[in-house]
Amino acid sequence: MNSSTLPINSYVIVGGGTAGWLTAAILIRVLENTNATITLIESPEVSTVGVGEATVPFLIDNLKFLDIPETDFILKTNATFKLGIKLTDWQNPGESYWHPFGDVGSKINGWEFYQHWLKANFNGDTSNYTDFSPCAVMADAGKFYIPNPKKPNNLSTMGYALHFDASLAAAYLSNYAQSRGVVHKQGHVETVSKHEDGRLKSLVMKDGSSVKGDFFIDCTGQRALLIGEALDVEYEDWSHYLPVNRAVVVQSEIAPSETKKSKTAQSKVQGSLPPYTEAFAHEHGWRWQIPLQNRIGNGYVYASDYCSEEEATELLLKNIQGKPITEPRTIRFTTGKRKKMWHKNCVAIGLSSGFLEPLESTSIYLVSRAAMLFITMLPNMSLAKETESEYNRLMDSEYENLRDFIVTHYCTSRRTDTAFWQDWQKRDIPPSLQNKLAFYKSQGRLIRNDLDLFGPISWHSVLSGMGVFPEAYDPVVDATIVAESHKYIKGVRASLIYSVNQLLTHSEYLERLKL
Ligand SMILES: Cc1cc2nc3c(=O)[nH]c(=O)nc-3n(C[C@H](O)[C@H](O)[C@H](O)COP(=O)(O)OP(=O)(O)OC[C@H]3O[C@@H](n4cnc5c(N)ncnc54)[C@H](O)[C@@H]3O)c2cc1C
């Protein structure tokens, strides 16, 4: 073997937040029985960002890939189930809609359900698109259930993710990774030394020791110690597209009524933990509410050009349910991404690689996506340029697709109550999104971009939820007799409601897991 094609012997991950430990867990899963060493270095002086508690269904695939028993993970991270996001006050104050996981309806005569729904809508039907989503119907009723894949039923097309305690999740993944051979070192990296060709050589620690490596993974959060400070890879600022840049966060107690069982139909969700994230639009941004088994995570994401820290904190504290159990703290960020996430012998994963704001809970997804992509492209000592550029191309697409999806929530709003929302009416949106929206508005068609986490069902949930309707539906559905699709549409809704009525509440389902 030519020496340049030898495998990488030592991987060094810097950072012990969700990104560091999830990456370590994924890497050791494939390198466990090889000669490669994986070392994770974490500074006792720099705390983790401490937020990042809502996920998307990809996390469940990750747990399966890592062979982590889902129930064990749920119990040890105080996790709850998530069936999607309830978006309140986005289109107009007082209105809510769902972005559910899983399918919405199913194809009729081979054509997408959303086209049949659009046609029914043109013909006067007043249902909401997500009335036909198993997840939205369950979430609305505060119920939860995972269908048995061997016994398919009308709820089988649901999907789910988790809300979890970020520090407990990092601890869980840390145990997992260390028990399989990842070496954990506490220490603060002071500087980085480089080879003549610009590759990273070793980390110089505060205690004077040094740590060498063949390949480095930068999970140092927003500081981006390796990719940014040492390698000078620039940050592409997307604030002109996504201007929010602060989040004030606080944890609160679960209000007593939420822990009790539901007694009346009206108290539906009140009587149990909501199996969804709620995102409320406000004057200068939006507020999240993430239920865990033992507490609620809250945060107000806002743009500092329009709102002071004091105003934001006051708004958050005024709106949370239950008493606060932590002091409110403000996190600053700039939306955007690194111009290159892989450069020479370093890849940036997590906040060091970029951040889009948390509206669609996509950051931990991007961490796992990056780590999974990295293991399919593991480099050797030659550090082929092609691997680097292919990785960067794919991750860029992921980021751009998610950016467009998030921008859609804002730019389609009709709110004009503050300067923040008025400015959204005139703000430039990415050309890729302009095309997608124009195509949809003129023809009612949504084509999935390569590597878009969110397909037409998600896009249609948000567009119809925001009241964006096309001028036409796809004429292919005209081959289906109106009465036939109408019968189907009515039948799906009734059967979903019937099935969901039989289910346990989300709280009861979680209690069962503990038995
Ligand atoms: C307001 C907000 C809300 C969010 N909500 C969500 C959400 O709901 N869902 C979601 O998926 N994502 C969310 N995210 C993103 C999510 O929190 C992050 O993607 C995730 O936590 C990963 O962070 P990280 O590990 O990259 O960085 P961090 O948690 O910041 O960890 C950085 C690590 O680097 C170490 N480090 C730093 N400097 C040094 C040094 N010199 N030497 C050694 N070690 C060092 C630190 O000790 C730490 O261990 C949110 C982010 C923000 C800001």
Say which residue the tokens 């390949």 belong to: 215
The answer as to whether 10 is a domain residue is yes
Q: Is the pLDDT of residue 86 over 90?
A: yes
> Could you give the number of structural domains in the chain?
1
Helix (H) or strand (E) holding 82: strand 80-82
Does residue 51 line the site of ligand 1, with CB under 6 A? yes
Give the CATH number for residue 389.
3.50.50.60
The answer as to whether 250 is a domain residue is no
Cα distance between residue 158 and residue 136, in whole Å: 9
* Helices within 78-209 (DSSP H only): 113-122, 134-141, 166-179
The answer as to whether 463 is a domain residue is yes
Is the four-CA dihedral 116, 122, 127, 128 of positive or negative sign?
Answer: positive
- The rounded Å distance from CA 221 to ligand 1 centre is 5
The answer as to whether 31 is a domain residue is yes
C-alpha distances (whole Å) from 191 to each of 91, 115, 207 are 48, 57, 12
Cα distance between residue 388 and residue 366, in whole Å: 17
The answer as to whether 502 is a domain residue is yes
Q: Render pLDDT for 426-439 as a digit per residue (tens, 0 to 9).
A: 999 999 999 999 99
Cα distance between residue 280 and residue 299, in whole Å: 10
Average pLDDT over residues 213-235: 98
Q: Is the pLDDT of residue 265 over 70?
A: no
User: Do residues 470 and 444 make contact, with C-beta atoms less than 8 angstroms apart?
Assistant: yes
Average pLDDT over residues 489-499: 92
Q: Render pLDDT for 386-400 as a digit per residue (tens, 0 to 9).
A: 999 999 999 999 999
Cα distance between residue 400 and residue 405, in whole Å: 9
- The rounded Å distance from CA 153 to ligand 1 centre is 39
Q: Render pLDDT for 150-203 as a digit per residue (tens, 0 to 9).
A: 999 999 999 999 999 999 999 999 999 999 999 999 999 999 999 999 999 999
**pLDDT for residue 38:** 98
Average pLDDT over residues 357-378: 97
Dihedral (Cα; 150, 151, 155, 158), 10-degree rounding: 0
The answer as to whether 313 is a domain residue is no
Cα distance between residue 85 and residue 81, in whole Å: 12
- By alpha-carbon position, which residue is closest to atom 7 of ligand 1? 52
The answer as to whether 401 is a domain residue is yes
Cα distance between residue 341 and residue 399, in whole Å: 11
* Residue 255's pLDDT band (cuts 50, 70, 90): confident
* Residue 485's pLDDT band (cuts 50, 70, 90): confident
The answer as to whether 298 is a domain residue is no
Q: Render pLDDT for 136-148 as a digit per residue (tens, 0 to 9).
A: 999 999 999 999 9
Average pLDDT over residues 307-324: 97
- The rounded Å distance from CA 181 to ligand 1 centre is 23
Identify the domain containing residue 198 by its residue range.
1-83+130-239+332-515
Which atom in ligand 1 lies closest to the alpha carbon of residue 352? 26
What is the pLDDT of the chain when averaged over all its residues?
94
Q: Render pLDDT for 399-415 as a digit per residue (tens, 0 to 9).
A: 999 999 999 999 999 99
Average pLDDT over residues 370-383: 96
